[in-house]
Chains A and B, each alone.
Chain A
Amino acid sequence: MIVYDKRLLDNLVLVEEAKSLESAGFISKEQKDLIKKELPAFKRQSNILVRLGFFLLGAFLYLSICGVISLFGLSGESLFFDICCYIFAIAGFAGAEFLAHQNYYEHGLDDAFILGAILNVGFAIAITTEGYELIIAIFVALASFVLYRRYLHLLSLVIFCLAASAVLFYGLFEFGSIGKAILPFVAMLVSAGFYFFTKKIISNLKDSYYYKGLLIANSFCLILFYLSCNYLVVRELSAMLLGIEILPGKDIPFAIFFHAFTLVVPILYLVQAIKTKDRIMLWISFLAIGFSIYTIRFYYSVLPIEVALTIGGLVLFAIAYFSIKKLKDKETGLTFKPDRINNSNALLNAEALIVASTFGLKPEVKTESPMDFGGGGFSGGGSEGSF
């Protein structure tokens, strides 16, 4: 099913490993360069900025090809409008196939064609079925899964996960209000089921090709599981879908369960992540804790936002400070010492760091700016700007 040469995929893993070993100081730079030279490789852009640039260029190219196709089609009949998206999708598949045969992998150009193909499949089905969501979701899920299997394209897998959950939701909507009412529980059970399913596959996996994709699917299940029964999500969705108006003093059914779920699951994630040393789960647990705090504040805002921010900052500082103090001198296991091998299982973390270091300045300036200028209607900077 995989279109790429397996040998090249193996080489990619080896070169990546050599890179992380070099940055960890186990092998010398010359040795890494030798390994890199020895093993033939894909045309691949590892720098996220460059890849983004090529993605944009690829998108332009794809659009211009679609433009040429429409130019010829327009002289035909109105039939063209019904089938144009199918043709565009086929162009996308053809482009992706061509690039894959030229050994482009994670390059940016291939991303543009693969994503464009999926998008156009969605549009095409939407035009044919006049916007029937369930069918659109099914076809998008199918297309993205096939593209993932063939090109090992991780973004397609993310789209597949989203589309598959959309299939679940829209499928339940077909059952009317009963389906909508049991939606949170079904989503919770399904995501839990798939979590253990993907976990099992990972532990039985022989080849590394599908490892990253399975990891993403696995993490997606964790996120969906948390969101499915989060109090805020359930309450707002039930207001939106079922049209229930929640009067003051009343609450949604099973409110206690949802409250407990919102509080317990993030902590469960955190404990489990530290126990199993699972970095992705750790980050998901951080995000979940943040969202739980937001949920609580959304309905029971005890403190005004600025006081909450100030106190939150202090509490967070204390937590970080004491954790650092505790972990600082440990040599094994859980520690504050930076890990020498920044290997691919720290993918999320490493990639976040790369983005942060290449974009570096932006997030820092952005976050500072509210008080320097934006909030600074009162600061000197603000007044200067208005001159």
Chain B
Amino acid sequence: MEKLRQIKFESPTFTKRIKGMLGVDLYRLFHTPLFYIFIAIAAIIPAMLIAMTGMTGPNGEPSTPLFTNVWQAIAADIPIYGFEGIEKYANMNMVFIFGGIMVSIFIGHDYKSGYVKQLFTTHAKKEDYMISKSLTCAFTMACMCVSYLFGGVIAGLLTQISFAVNVGNLLCAILGKIIMSLGWASLYTFLNVIFRRYFGVSIASSFFFGTGILVIGVGSIIGNTPVLNVFLYGSSVFACLSSNLWTLINCLAVSLAWTGIYILLGSHILNKSDVY
């Protein structure tokens, strides 16, 4: 009983709390196959897209090339918000679709295994959960973007298509998309918190939003306007091969703003509803 009287309850600082929860998520990420599978998927997608460029038709005639330049598989030449053919759509933005599925599986396992009970028993602050998941999943999607880049480059070398590009614009496009990973990760974390009891719905909703279909639909109606950059998909499209520093600032602002909104909304939902 003497020891009992010595029990002290020191409130952990925000940094210590996040370090603990983020540590768990990263440990789990690196010790399960999920992360490596999605990294591999990200590398395969551009390779497949670029490989299609060199395909021939049924009679042996060369088909219309999907890309004339390797970097078109990374980002579109100019921002096109509506749908104008698969070649304008199929680029690094596809990482965000597969990333959504990855986030759904990652968070879904928290609930399926019951581990989330351990997290919420020891962490009273629900925003810790939202922040940690968003950062971990953003890191994964950023890694997928890099993997996508390598997959594209290797496929380009093998198919010997053009590598001509303005390096500055290309770097801004890639960095812009990597920055957007955070916003997308927080959106998916939020969706998975809403549909935490319905794994299938979580995946379906992540896929739905990841395709950017809402912005594409609006873009087709109101036209190709930069107003759509306020949305995650809009800014992801904005990070294209004509990007510059302004693009990066735009991506950073939009990504952070949406991250903040989704973390606040997700924390509110977790605080006001039964978590398990």
The judgment on whether A and B are partners is no
- Chain B contacts to A: CB under 8 angstroms: none
